[in-house]
Amino acid sequence: MGSKTRLLSLLTPIQLLQAFFCILLALTLALHAILSSTSTLLLDHNIRLALSQHRIALFSLLWCTLVALLAYLSTRPRPVLLLDYACFRPDTDRKCSYETCEYFVRRSRRYNDVSEQFMRGIYHKSGLGDETYVPSFIFQNDYEAKMQSALEEAEEGMTAAVDALLAKTNVPASAIDLLIATCGMFAPCPSLTSFLVHHYHLPESTTTYNLSGMGCSSGVGAIDLAARILKSSRKIRYALVVITESISLNWYFGDNRSMLVTNCIFRVGTAAVLISNDPAKRDVAKMEFLHSLRTHHGADDASYRAAYQEEDDAGTVGVALKKDLIRVAGEGLRAHIRLLAPKALPWSQLIQYAYHVVRGWVRKGDQKQKVPDFTTAFEHMCVHTGGKAVIESVGRLMQLDDSVTEPARMCLHRFGNTSSSLVFYELAYFDAKGRIKSGDKIWMLAFGTGFKVCSLVWRALGDSVMEPDNPWKDCIHRYPMKTW
């Protein structure tokens, strides 16, 4: 009896349904044969013929209905649920104020006076506060980032976020069978997923993916990848997505202005997200995945080189943020929302948008281009926290009020640009404020090198609450504040 129970536990619901249909078909054919032989002895030819035709029609209808039901259940996508997430917040002694930055720059003696003055101006205009976090090498005496510093930074952030996530979801590590890790600028060997598999003793059957080189959009892209896999899977699965970035080995020690900007705005941050396609988890899940969109504009030369890792004239490697980055981001966002609008906007907004497009075409482009009101489609927006100029550009292009971009501005002030994990620090801001209500739609928007624009759309399955591990828990009372 125990072996039969174990065998049934290995079968998916669809496989059990298929077995049931096969048994039902066998019984139907057997019953048909019995009735046919019996009716041959008792009834005349005309009655037998009529009964046979009716039985064939009835059995055919029944079988077609069962096959159609099986096909529907086998092919419909499963719901994708975000069970929970966690954001890493380093210790207090890793906070980096303006004075700390200036002290590090001067004591390192790696920059000339012009570069120091340039970074001072960028920092004051960046919108960052004095409580962002930097890697530990900033506080060391040799002021040199090494491989060990990068490994410690990645391992510290990932383990802290994953530990907090598994603790509050009560999902054992052994249940995870899909693992995705993304880090744009750091790809060690063994990989980050190998470290996580080793650290948490994940099953040998765990499917792993490592994403790199995608910049700030990789977090949203990793969630999109996990959602696509879970929707198409016929078995219940749990996916762990770990989103981080490495500052240590990518701190720029040179005098190229376009590369110095990254030192002023990028800071430490990691997020871990657990999602599943188990419908039984709907009652405990935070959000349900609705749809996503990823657009890639790398075919254009300016877009491809807008944020580009290269060597400066002295041979020092850095990431250059070109002057036309904001223009490229604006053009990429325009193309992106043209594709997103039909999926997300209500009919009233679509009709208005179509009317203005047609009127502008009739008037040969004299009419100013109409931007749809996306606040009619989403109650909350996690706008890309790339920097002050990026947030202002998105708000201006989409005609958003300051109240809509408030979470992005506050997140930039408190945590800086944490790269790929930034949208989850914004989501934590909404939860800390208790703003999300059941049924609300949330839009996550992120840009990335390449140049890419990525969107995720969620529906909240419950009201947001302040949890003990929320990174805003001890400072949310000070926000919002005037940051620029």
The residues that are catalytic are 216, 296, 380, 384, 413, 417
Closest C-alpha to 430, from 381, 396, 395: 381
Residues 213, 211: Cα–Cα separation, whole Å: 7
> Which DSSP symbol is given to 369?
P
Query: How large is the angle between the packed helices 402-415 and 422-433, nearest 10 degrees?
Result: 110
Q: How many helices (H) and strands (E) does the chain have?
A: 15, 13
Give the Å distances, CA to CA, from 47 to 40, 55, 268, 344, 461. Answer: 10, 12, 83, 60, 59
Are the C-beta atoms of residues 170 and 202 closer than 8 Å to each other? no
Q: Is the preceding omega at residue 480 within 30 degrees of 0, hence cis?
A: yes
Closest C-alpha to 197, from 224, 169, 176: 176
Residues 126, 132: Cα–Cα separation, whole Å: 12
Partners of residue 417 on adjacent β-strands: 266
Closest C-alpha to 391, from 366, 361, 364, 416: 416
Partners of residue 453 on adjacent β-strands: 295, 447
Go through the chain and tell me how many residues it has: 484
Largest Cα span, the chain: 110
DSSP per-residue codes, 206-238: -EEEEE-S-GGGHHHHHHHHHHHHHHH-SS--E
Are the C-beta atoms of residues 96 and 134 closer than 8 Å to each other? yes
**Tokens encoding 398:** 């989409």
Residue 345: helix, strand or coil by DSSP?
coil
Are the C-beta atoms of residues 224 and 294 closer than 8 Å to each other? yes
Residue 352: helix, strand or coil by DSSP?
helix
Query: How large is the angle between the packed helices 45-75 and 13-42, nearest 10 degrees?
Result: 180
Query: How large is the angle between the packed helices 257-265 and 113-125, nearest 10 degrees?
Result: 50
